[in-house]
Chain A
Amino acid sequence: MSTPANFLTEEMRQQAIGVESPPVTFEVEKGHILRFAEAIGDPNPQYTDEAEARRGRNGGLVAPPTFLRSVRGVNLELPFELSFSRRLDGGSDWEYFHPVRPGDRITAVARVAEMTERSGRLGTMVFMTTITTYSNQFEEVVATQTNTLIAY
């Protein structure tokens, strides 16, 4: 597999920045929170034990901090193909504003904030920074996630 030595032009970068995904709506299910908490190995009763969670500051069950990663199908249609076959997750930055509870309907919208190219140990790599905004059924922003995708 060959990757282009220099892929990203300034024009492409400008085209990519600001691209926004169509909104995706996702229903938060109690059973999904339970499966997610089990998968990350976190036995915190705030996620699974209603009686215990009621005594916490949220007054009921909530989702773990990274649960909104399970909102799938948020697609960013770039005006060009990111012609690299491999992907790595570079990092994430969450900000939280309201708890996410079972029964919430969360709408996610992602936007491209930055795109840069670097040469590294794996050859030419494109770093795409996206900001995903998650809102609930009351139109409150519950969280934002800034994520860096590395394509190489």
Chain B
Amino acid sequence: MADQVYWEDVTEGMELPSIVKEPTTRQLVQYAGASGDFYEIHYDKDFAIGNQLDGPILHGALKSAFLGQLVTDWIGPLGTLKRLQCQYRGMDAPGNPITARGTVTRKYEEDGLRLVDCEIRLENAEGQNTTPGYATVILPSRNG
């Protein structure tokens, strides 16, 4: 597989290929249906405003799904996601594009596994990190 990243190819400090997501209210409704989370702050503007918000906001779990995609796109079909952590520090609203980014922070071997830790984040259009987190993955080796 041409796109597969191997543990040997990784260096600490390298950036993961970023992905841009353009969430819409329609996507939030779609996510509400698929996840069963129908809390109205995610699609009902009046309800959101009544809850001291400026308008509907993204589901936190949808934002972690975006970060999940960032990492699983990078590790390819032979990589394994072991840990995915993030905090919803800032709110993101539909209509505003967000970019998922990541940086390799540590490359190591443990219990015979080839592991990589990454710092991951979602940046809004102003470049603010609304959703900091980290991930740990297992990567395949070129040496089998």
**Which of A's residues lie within 8 Å of B, judged by CB?**
32, 35-36, 38-42, 44, 46, 52-53, 55-57, 64-66, 69-70, 72, 86-96, 122, 148
Contacts and interface: CB of A to CB of B under 8 A. Distances in A.
Interface in B68-114: 68-69, 71-73, 77-88
Interface class of chain A by DSSP: mixed
Given A32-B34, A69-B37, A89-B61, A95 B82 contact: yes
B124 interface: no
Given A40-B65, A91-B86, A122-B52, A65 B81 contact: yes
A66 B133 CA distance: 14
Contacts of A88: 60, 88
Interface of B: 1, 21, 27, 30-31, 33-37, 39, 51-52, 59-62, 64-66, 68-69, 71-73, 77-88, 133, 140
Give the dominant DSSP class at B's interface: mixed
B31 A40 contact: yes
Contacts of A89: 59-61, 88
Nearest to A39: B34
Contacts of A32: 34
B60 A57 contact: no
Given A46-B72, A65-B65, 17 more contacts: A39-B35, A39-B62, A40-B66, A41-B27, A41-B69, A42-B68, A42-B69, A44-B73, A52-B77, A55-B77, A57-B80, A64-B65, A65-B81, A88-B88, A89-B59, A89-B61, A94-B85
B61 A69 contact: yes
A88 B69 CA distance: 23
Contacts of A65: 65, 68, 71-72, 81, 84
A41 B21 contact: yes
Nearest to A121: B52
Contacts of B60: 88-92
